[in-house]
Structure 1
Amino acid sequence: MPTREEMDQEYCWKLEDIFETDELWMDSCTELEKGIEEFRELKGELSRGPEQMYQVLCKSDELQKRLESIYVYANQKYHQDTGNQRYQEMSGKAADLSVRLSDALSFVEPEILSVEDRVLEQWLADFEPLGGYRRYLEEEMRLKPHILSEEMEGVLARAGELGNSPQQIFMAFNNADIDFGTILDENDEEAVLTHGRYVTFMESRDRRVRKEAFQKLYETYGKHKNMLAATFAANLKQARFFASLRRYPSTLEAALDGGNIPVTVYHRLIEAVHDSLPAMYDYVALRKRLLKLDELHMYDVYVPMIERPEKEISFSEAREIVKSGLQVLGEDYTALLEEGFENGWIDVYENQGKRSGAYSWGAYGTHPYVLLNYSGNLNSVFTLAHEMGHAIHSYYSDHAQPYAYAGYRIFVAEVASTCNEALLIHYLLEQASGQEERAHLINYFLDQFKGTLFRQTMFAEFEQKAHEMLAESGSVSAQGLCELYYGLNQKYFGPDMVSDPEIALEWSRIPHFYTPFYVYQYATGFSAAIAISSKILRGEPGIVEKYKEFLSGGSSRDPIDLLKICGVDMTSKEPVAEALRVFAEYVGELDGMFRKF
């Protein structure tokens, strides 16, 4: 595994587009510290009149934009090498500045809410520039029952650092400290087991390799299960603490209320997936038959069902495949893809200490960034399409919206990325050279459904029950979490799957659980994306333009209303049910093809 210093810069992101040097980053930190102290002096100004309110809100945006650049730069430096002490410290400083700014801004909401609704409406009518903050102010009024006194808001802001601690502890352990050791690869050669390589090993045709990687990984987590349970329990408690103080009945309602998402959307997702579990069981039975196994184990879940030699796909080839697959979105979209490929948006390959997985992130005023751990297979190609979907979504919203509305809500965050994947799989299916290749691609698409719609819904149900467990008993244990997770795994995979004891520990390695009630949106986003991509592929008049309007919306409307631009209503069960019908149809097609072979 190469060190960061040994990486080819052609495949590394250009963080100098945010700050040319670490020294300039430090200068910006100093300026922000000064700005924070100056902002504290504006206390009392917001409620004096419309012009004063406008000036304070503008200053608040200015400080938050500066913090965003500082925070993103420091953390992406840290993520490219989590063992680097300098960037650990910079990340810590950025977190401290975030808490200090939150504390300084803590008087803003209470002062806004001290203005009577009728007076605020008159101010908006009298002073046109303030109208740019209309939606923000209306959202503040909607959330008024959950905004506390100025003193309490200050306390909560200062408590933010404590609230982030469980996630920071987990990230440090999971990315820098944990050591899985080595296994013997397909050539009986010793190979280091890492997060990135685990995924590759689990797709190996050699069942011994899959089993050894699976057991070695969970053996390692098992040695730390009590520490990980304590860390996760602390995360559950911090979520309950903040939800309770903000007068929410539950952590679920607190998490969804920021985007004005009805909790029924969460419950209907789980119900719709429960209704379609027979299709999942058919898929599991099909996988067992196609792999010709007497028993299907959890380490058999990711290997392709169709035995087809998968050639190494270079990153340059992946770029061209993605561009071709997304041409249906128009020349302006593919031009943005090319700009990202050529101009340092992407950090491509794994190196020692690099954060696992993949994500897109960035700061307002500069282009977005994508972190990959590209491994040269078909899944890596789809990951590239997925993360560039996030990045271009951010690009559209940043360029169409002012800072106050540029950041889109988490609920719609997975729509653009998954829509890219759906369009790409359709393109590849059309290009398939024969039945075997088509079967291979259907296998891949079914695995996306399994991993995104079914698996993430299982995660969502686990989260809900874990938070309820804490609320009911006041504590959670490693044993309790393992039993809960194991039971759900059995329920979602059904009778043809052997739920190995090790899988009970899977909850302990999922980073997204440290952002409470995030993962369900992968499933709802996947469903919405299937609906939108189907409209695009059918050539529905105006849908591409409507889709780009959606991408440009940021948070200028509620997420539910943004999706309605494209004719998708997530308050109904239909988008999820339709996606699950597509899944069942493809299971049936692949089953029919298998019976012909």
Structure 2
Amino acid sequence: MNQVLKRSDVPAEHRWKLEDLFANQQAWEQEYQTVKKQLAEIGRFEGKLKDAKAIKECFELEDQISLHTERLYVYANMKNHEDMADPTYQALSDKSKKLSVDTSEAMSFISPEILSLTDEQLHKLVNDPALAFYKRTLEEMIREKQHVLSRSEEALMAQVGNLSQAPSTIFGMLNNADLKFPKIKNEKGEEVELTHGRYIQFLESRDRDVRKRAFEAVYETYAKQKNTIAATLAANVNKNLFYAKVRKYPSALEMSLFGDNIKKEVYTNLIDAVHEALPLMHRYMALRKKLMKLDELHMYDLFAPLVEEYKMDITYEEAQKTVLESLKPLGPDYLKVLEAGFDGSWIDIYENEGKRNGAYSWGAYGTHPYVLLNHKDNLNSMFTLTHEMGHALHSYLSDANQPYRYAQYTIFLAEVASTLNEALLMDYMLKKSTDPKEKMYLLTYYMDQFRTTVFRQTMFAEFEKIIHEKAEAGESLTPQLLSEVYYDLNKQYYGNDMAVDKDIEMEWARIPHFYNSFYVYKYATGFSAATSFSKQILEEGQPAVERYLGFLKSGGSDYSINILQKAGVDMSTPEPIKQAMSVFKGLLEQMEALAK
């Protein structure tokens, strides 16, 4: 696929079949009108949610409205993603977004009204046989009730909502619009302007001087703004402390974990287990230094290629075959659905003019999932294929086994199924590879995923925990304090074989995730849970496969931790992290053997 086609020229076998969702736009419009009518209907329940009969009828209508709204939204936006320059579907996408807002507003009375009932009334409803299907919804409302304020206070908090976006908005503007990086010399000695996008490219350069220049230029630029960015980050931390206090949570961390009903230990276990494994990370740094033949390994050497570029040309058809082979350990039932996805027009494969970039898996309940790709014939695209199909099969099996209300899995669980597929693909390729160069290339690829997803994200998570605790103890988050904490963490995580450059102390200033607090740990827990599953599946076979398929079928029918626990991955203990680290150790040993 060399030239980029117009959407109208893309052959049918390379496109997804959105007709499975709506036959045409006319069918979409009909369903849109249905939702409009239902929105008028739901209002009649306002002020009447006092008994089981009214609540049941209201919940049933709420489910219908939500499902139709989701279908309309998904279809309109996927049509828009096929060619984002097409005005018809830009308009349809806008129409679906407005409908989503209207739907949320129309149904916003339900939760507060039920929660205004007395504790006694609520407990009676939870145990009412007529509401048995909605027991989990009601229990979740009761769990949240202790943190819900009075009506007038909630109205006030809603007004504060706009203000609370300020730190994130200000940082975004500064980081994306106002910060200007200097020009630096590239490999050819030409002056090139440094940008966010080019920074990573420069860090991956084979020319060490280019890497060093880019690294120093980026952090010098942030250092010039350190007082402003520290004030912005401190404002974000203070916002979290404000919300935690007003809503009666013991700490900002516990407030952020409350939604997924996750205990603080899950967060602290991750940090403790990764600390325990830091000697392995230090060994990997020593190996990197040796392979790169360096006297001193610097922070700007972390993304440089370790081995000669190993070209792997993998067509889409070959990628499909390899993915199918690599997922055989998951058994015939899983493979059957996977083949149905490959053959049933779930996937939009190649780039075309105006198509949205990147990749995702998406869909609406009641229809199979869809996957958007922009496939290139390389290793990365093959991993993207298995990753997105992992999401797709998770959604498919959740939807097939759960009612609409309980089918949606949480973000905490979302990356497990996709990462597990990647782990099985990597295991398959390493076992099959006979070429030491290819093997080293694959091992490096996988080891760097561990480094960036488990070690680095855990370091970020630890930084967030420390700065929130300091602020809770009344300390002021000055640029000096933030830089000191951050620098010390880098020294601890990378070890003595790394010359930890002073510049890295400013890295906290460029991480946008710090404005979505206590989120990054989910990358590390998801990756660890997936690695733990893959280890169990490869070692135990059938019993582990059964447990894993049970996990995929559970959707959101229970709390995330419980769903994983039933499947044999107990994130309330450090065990899954330790299992992931034993896989990391095995990979490191293979690399060390090849490097001799």
TM-score range, shorter chain: 0.7 to 0.9
- 1:54 paired residue number: 56
- Any idea what SS the aligned residue of 1:146 has? coil
* Residues 124-166 of structure 1 deviation map (CA, whole Å, 9 limit, x = unaligned): 66544x2211111122222221123344445555665665676
1:42 CA drift (Å):
1.9
Q: Which amino acid aligns with 2:47?
A: G
- 2:48 paired residue number: 45
1:432 CA drift (Å):
1.0
- 1:268 paired residue number: 269
In the alignment, the residues of structure 2 paired with residue 4 and residue 156 of structure 1 have an alpha-carbon distance, to the nearest angstrom, of: 50
- 1:320 paired residue number: 321
- 1:438 paired residue number: 439
- 1:524 paired residue number: 525
In the alignment, the residues of structure 2 paired with residue 31 and residue 171 of structure 1 have an alpha-carbon distance, to the nearest angstrom, of: 39
Q: Which amino acid aligns with 2:265?
A: T
> Structure 2 matches for 1:498-509, cutoff 5 A?
498-500=499-501, 503-509=504-510
- 1:63 paired residue number: 65
- Any idea what SS the aligned residue of 2:428 has? helix
1:278 CA drift (Å):
1.4
CA contact (8 A) 2:126 2:139 kept: no
- Quickly say closer, same or farther: Cα 1:470–1:288, change in 2 above 3 A: same
1:532 CA drift (Å):
1.4
1:415 CA drift (Å):
1.6
* Residues 318-358 of structure 1 deviation map (CA, whole Å, 9 limit, x = unaligned): 33332221122234433444454562545765988967x65
1:292 CA drift (Å):
0.8
In the alignment, the residues of structure 2 paired with residue 122 and residue 568 of structure 1 have an alpha-carbon distance, to the nearest angstrom, of: 35
In the alignment, the residues of structure 2 paired with residue 558 and residue 78 of structure 1 have an alpha-carbon distance, to the nearest angstrom, of: 34
- Quickly say closer, same or farther: Cα 1:424–1:41, change in 2 above 3 A: same
* Residues 198-236 of structure 1 deviation map (CA, whole Å, 9 limit, x = unaligned): 656644545456556656766777787777666655654
- 1:578 paired residue number: 579
> Structure 2 matches for 1:171-570, cutoff 5 A?
202-207=203-208, 210-211=211-212, 235-307=236-308, 309-341=310-342, 343-346=345-348, 359-370=360-371, 377-472=378-473, 481-500=482-501, 503-570=504-571
Give the alignment partner of residue 107 of structure 1, picking from 94, 103, 109. 109
- Any idea what SS the aligned residue of 2:146 has? helix
Name which of structure 1's ranges 422-431 and 573-582 shifts more when overlaid on structure 2. Answer: 573-582
In the alignment, the residues of structure 2 paired with residue 91 and residue 151 of structure 1 have an alpha-carbon distance, to the nearest angstrom, of: 35
CA contact (8 A) 1:345 1:367 kept: no
CA contact (8 A) 1:81 1:352 kept: yes
- Quickly say closer, same or farther: Cα 1:33–1:482, change in 2 above 3 A: farther
1:101 CA drift (Å):
4.6
- Any idea what SS the aligned residue of 1:44 has? coil
1:422 CA drift (Å):
1.5
1:7 CA drift (Å):
10
CA contact (8 A) 2:415 2:527 kept: yes
- Quickly say closer, same or farther: Cα 1:252–1:100, change in 2 above 3 A: farther
Name which of structure 1's ranges 345-354 and 409-418 shifts more when overlaid on structure 2. Answer: 345-354
1:522 CA drift (Å):
1.8
In the alignment, the residues of structure 2 paired with residue 520 and residue 409 of structure 1 have an alpha-carbon distance, to the nearest angstrom, of: 14
In the alignment, the residues of structure 2 paired with residue 265 and residue 42 of structure 1 have an alpha-carbon distance, to the nearest angstrom, of: 40
In the alignment, the residues of structure 1 paired with residue 315 and residue 178 of structure 2 have an alpha-carbon distance, to the nearest angstrom, of: 30
Q: Percent same amino acid at aligned positions?
A: 47
Stretches of structure 2 that go unaligned for 5 or more consecutive residues are none
In the alignment, the residues of structure 2 paired with residue 27 and residue 233 of structure 1 have an alpha-carbon distance, to the nearest angstrom, of: 49
In the alignment, the residues of structure 2 paired with residue 203 and residue 349 of structure 1 have an alpha-carbon distance, to the nearest angstrom, of: 25
- Quickly say closer, same or farther: Cα 1:585–1:433, change in 2 above 3 A: closer
* Residues 541-591 of structure 1 deviation map (CA, whole Å, 9 limit, x = unaligned): 332222111111111112222112222221111221222233233323322
1:403 CA drift (Å):
2.2
- Any idea what SS the aligned residue of 1:414 has? helix
CA contact (8 A) 1:482 1:504 kept: yes
CA contact (8 A) 2:398 2:552 kept: yes
- Quickly say closer, same or farther: Cα 1:299–1:77, change in 2 above 3 A: farther
- Any idea what SS the aligned residue of 1:260 has? coil
In the alignment, the residues of structure 2 paired with residue 12 and residue 212 of structure 1 have an alpha-carbon distance, to the nearest angstrom, of: 44
- Any idea what SS the aligned residue of 2:109 has? helix
1:15 CA drift (Å):
6.8
- Quickly say closer, same or farther: Cα 1:44–1:463, change in 2 above 3 A: same
- Any idea what SS the aligned residue of 1:249 has? coil
- Quickly say closer, same or farther: Cα 1:101–1:226, change in 2 above 3 A: farther
Stretches of structure 1 that go unaligned for 5 or more consecutive residues are none
In the alignment, the residues of structure 1 paired with residue 476 and residue 369 of structure 2 have an alpha-carbon distance, to the nearest angstrom, of: 40
Count of aligned pairs = 592
1:183 CA drift (Å):
8.1
CA contact (8 A) 1:4 1:351 kept: yes
CA contact (8 A) 2:467 2:482 kept: yes
- Quickly say closer, same or farther: Cα 1:17–1:416, change in 2 above 3 A: same
Q: Which amino acid aligns with 2:422?
A: E
CA contact (8 A) 1:304 1:444 kept: no
1:306 CA drift (Å):
3.4
1:447 CA drift (Å):
1.7
In the alignment, the residues of structure 2 paired with residue 485 and residue 80 of structure 1 have an alpha-carbon distance, to the nearest angstrom, of: 42
CA contact (8 A) 1:82 1:176 kept: no
1:437 CA drift (Å):
3.3
Q: Which amino acid aligns with 1:113?
A: L
* RMSD, matched Cα: 4.5
In the alignment, the residues of structure 2 paired with residue 585 and residue 279 of structure 1 have an alpha-carbon distance, to the nearest angstrom, of: 10
Q: Which amino acid aligns with 1:45?
A: K
- Quickly say closer, same or farther: Cα 1:554–1:344, change in 2 above 3 A: closer
In the alignment, the residues of structure 1 paired with residue 291 and residue 69 of structure 2 have an alpha-carbon distance, to the nearest angstrom, of: 52
- Quickly say closer, same or farther: Cα 1:277–1:332, change in 2 above 3 A: same
In the alignment, the residues of structure 2 paired with residue 9 and residue 227 of structure 1 have an alpha-carbon distance, to the nearest angstrom, of: 49
In the alignment, the residues of structure 1 paired with residue 225 and residue 594 of structure 2 have an alpha-carbon distance, to the nearest angstrom, of: 45
In the alignment, the residues of structure 2 paired with residue 361 and residue 221 of structure 1 have an alpha-carbon distance, to the nearest angstrom, of: 37
Query: Is 1:148 the equivalent of 2:167?
Result: no
In the alignment, the residues of structure 1 paired with residue 439 and residue 459 of structure 2 have an alpha-carbon distance, to the nearest angstrom, of: 28
Name which of structure 1's ranges 219-228 and 558-567 shifts more when overlaid on structure 2. Answer: 219-228
- Quickly say closer, same or farther: Cα 1:35–1:231, change in 2 above 3 A: farther
- Any idea what SS the aligned residue of 1:547 has? helix
- Any idea what SS the aligned residue of 1:324 has? helix
- Quickly say closer, same or farther: Cα 1:140–1:196, change in 2 above 3 A: same
In the alignment, the residues of structure 2 paired with residue 118 and residue 313 of structure 1 have an alpha-carbon distance, to the nearest angstrom, of: 63
1:499 CA drift (Å):
3.5
Name which of structure 1's ranges 180-189 and 491-500 shifts more when overlaid on structure 2. Answer: 180-189
TM-score by length of 1: 0.81
In the alignment, the residues of structure 1 paired with residue 422 and residue 280 of structure 2 have an alpha-carbon distance, to the nearest angstrom, of: 22
